[in-house]
């Protein structure tokens, strides 16, 4: 069996193409978010940066943010601090997570369209590309198999998606080397699934019901 690894250069990408060091500095009490993310040579996300200067190591398991608000103080995290955090993340990882590193499996999240859109049919399978913890994942980016058979990247309301589940992509899987898909560590996957599978707040239900009443009420 051929196990030719898709060769990916290391890369960095940014939310709306704005690097963390160019984005406005957030207020001191903010919750850190992923403004920039670094991908290693295996296509795995390993580091996130927040506009406050904070960093988070993701590989093989997501750590906590550190270096919070360093940009406001004019201090910057040195590469050696980040390397140390990466080494600690590796030591902290569970046996399962280390195994994922050894085998090269990627842990990703799959979901299903609950409604038809201009691009995809109800029931279409999709892969999670970008999550949105700052706004409770109300909109996320997915890679979906479009009606014309091509894979399309789309931002979708979380209301249109369901049946979220973790999937392990072994080396050789058609999407294993697909760097658009987001790789999830165990605790990240759990946090994401907890939020997106939670029962919607009653208030949101009431607002949706009201909207339906208004929509139906117009003659």
Q: Which residues bind Zn ion (CB under 5 A)?
A: 32, 50, 52, 54
CB of 159 to Zn ion, least distance (A): 28
Q: Which long-range contacts (CB under 8 A, 24 or more apart) does 10-19 make?
A: 10/38, 10/39, 10/40, 10/41, 11/38, 11/39, 11/179, 12/36, 12/37, 12/38, 12/39, 13/37, 13/39
Our CB check for Zn ion shows the closer of 24 and 216 to be: 24
Tokens 């919750």 belong to which residue?
Answer: 31
CB of 121 to Zn ion, least distance (A): 39
Our CB check for Zn ion shows the closer of 43 and 54 to be: 54
CB of 25 to Zn ion, least distance (A): 9
CB of 35 to Zn ion, least distance (A): 8
> Cα(36)–Cα(53) distance, rounded to whole angstroms?
11
Our CB check for Zn ion shows the closer of 65 and 151 to be: 65
Our CB check for Zn ion shows the closer of 68 and 175 to be: 68
> Cα(97)–Cα(44) distance, rounded to whole angstroms?
13
Strand order in the sheet with 55-57: 11-14, 36-39, 45-49, 55-57
């Amino acid at each position: 069996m051929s196990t030719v690894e898709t060769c990916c250069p290391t890369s960095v990408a940014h939310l709306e193409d704005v690097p963390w060091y160019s984005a406005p500095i957030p207020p001191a009490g903010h919750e850190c978010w992923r403004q920039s993310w670094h991908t290693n040579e295996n296509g795995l996300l390993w580091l996130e940066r927040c506009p406050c200067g904070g960093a988070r190591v993701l590989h093989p398991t997501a750590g906590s943010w550190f270096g919070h608000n360093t940009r406001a103080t004019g201090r910057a995290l040195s590469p050696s601090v980040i390397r140390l955090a990466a080494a600690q993340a590796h030591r902290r990882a569970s046996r399962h997570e280390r195994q994922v590193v050894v085998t090269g499996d990627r842990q990703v999240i799959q979901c299903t369209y609950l409604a038809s859109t201009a691009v995809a049919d109800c029931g279409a399978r999709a892969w999670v590309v970008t999550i949105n913890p700052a706004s409770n994942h109300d909109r996320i980016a997915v890679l979906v198999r479009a009606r014309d058979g091509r894979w399309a990247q789309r931002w979708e309301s979380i209301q249109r998606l369901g049946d979220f589940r973790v999937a392990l992509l072994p080396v050789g899987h058609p999407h294993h080397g697909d760097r658009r898909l987001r790789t999830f560590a165990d605790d990240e996957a759990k946090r994401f699934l907890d939020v997106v599978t939670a029962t919607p707040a009653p208030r949101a239900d009431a607002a949706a019901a009201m909207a339906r009443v208004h929509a139906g009420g117009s003659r």
